[in-house]
Amino acid sequence: MTIRREAWGEAGGRPVHLYTLAANGLEVSVATYGGVIVRMMVPDGVGNTANVTLGYDSVDGYINDSCYFGCIVGRVANRIGHARFTLDGAEHALDRNHGDHQLHGGARGFHARVWNAQAEETPDGPRLRLTRTSPDGEQGYPGTVEARVDYTLLRDGLRLDFVAETDKPTPVNMTNHSYFNLSGRAGSSCLDHRLSIPAGRILETDTALIPTGGLAGVAGTPFDFRSGEAVGARIMEESAPLSVGRGYDHYFVLDDGSDRLKTAATVYDPASGRTMEVWTTHPGVQFYSGNHIPEGLPGRDGARYAPRCGFCLEAHGYVDAPNHPGFPSVTLLPGETMHHTIIYKFSAK
């Protein structure tokens, strides 16, 4: 096991460092800016190791990024309708950074902050602990939140533990926003990857992809991935939800909605033989097929990215939960500790 630390520029006048964790043939590099997973080196079926995530060569790329490559998103991941919610009778107006709505915690959310870091060896593997204090009123959210994300490199993958405490009631719903392409060929399409998600329902959304409060069954639709299907097999089918998202950008409600650790998705790349399993304690996962990656976007190691050259599987609580009393709550109360886990497990054949 090894842990390396290197200077990686600065953001907002603060130094940024890049930490690399290596063990058992896997290697993960994480920046203190946004908690970004810069690279994830994973062997294929014949032992060749390649980076399976999208990203940039320097911190400047992430500062100017509009795709949320690899970062921590919060306080609340995904969309909050009309950038406002009511909690305990008080309405809170949030930063609007997505038309009339808020996306991924606002323009200066957790993804755009420099985190404090501490690295150490643990019995499970090398670990990087990132922490920051989100002050009362940041991006419109009430309460001061002490946030922590632990990255632990396991024997067969990467575990992320998200922890938060608050001094006032406030919504907290963090996740990681990595884009994956298991082929290891940067810029190539991910539409031939085979995806399975054990979810019989998705959140119903309006024309702005804001949840209506209803659930829609996936049977007989392009959203049925329960038996496994290529990502691109039905992405061009006539479907109002697909048309609105210009592809997949929808929250899948797992059949097992408990807070126990369970499989949320499995992805297999036939070309490389790599398989990735996503495990989580969350009740669902947002599947995004990279529809809005700009054509020709300069990426890491000279790559040129394009729409659908990477996909996201963002495990988190229900989208826009603060505005839907019928959804499982993401409100954190004083005296409580929020703790959720996401694990990316890799294998190859």
In the chain, the domains with their CATH numbers are: 2-348 (2.70.98.10)
DSSP for 195-262, written as a single string: EE---SEEEEE-TTS-EEEEEEE-TTSTT--TT-EETTSSTTSS-HHHHHHTS-EEEEE-S--SSS-E
Give the model's pLDDT for residue 213: 97
Give the model's pLDDT for residue 239: 93
Q: What's the one-letter identity of residue 56? A: Y
3-class secondary structure, 147: strand
The answer to whether residue 250 is catalytic is no
Q: For residues 281 and 261, is the Cβ–Cβ distance under 8 A?
A: yes
Per-residue pLDDT of the chain (349 residues; tens, 9 = 90+): 799 999 999 999 999 999 999 999 999 999 999 999 999 999 999 999 999 999 999 999 999 999 999 999 999 999 999 999 999 999 999 999 999 999 999 999 999 999 999 999 999 999 999 999 999 999 999 999 999 999 999 999 999 999 999 999 999 999 999 999 999 999 999 999 999 999 999 999 999 999 999 999 999 999 999 999 999 999 999 999 999 999 999 999 999 999 999 999 999 999 999 999 999 999 999 999 999 999 999 999 999 999 999 999 999 999 999 999 999 999 999 999 999 999 999 999 9
The answer to whether residue 177 is catalytic is yes
Give the model's pLDDT for residue 292: 97
Give the model's pLDDT for residue 1: 75
- φ/ψ of 135, rounded to 5, equals -70, 160
Active-site annotation holder among 17, 101, 104, 177:
177
- Degrees (nearest 5) of the Cα angle 161, 6, 146? 35
Active-site annotation holder among 111, 314, 324, 340:
314
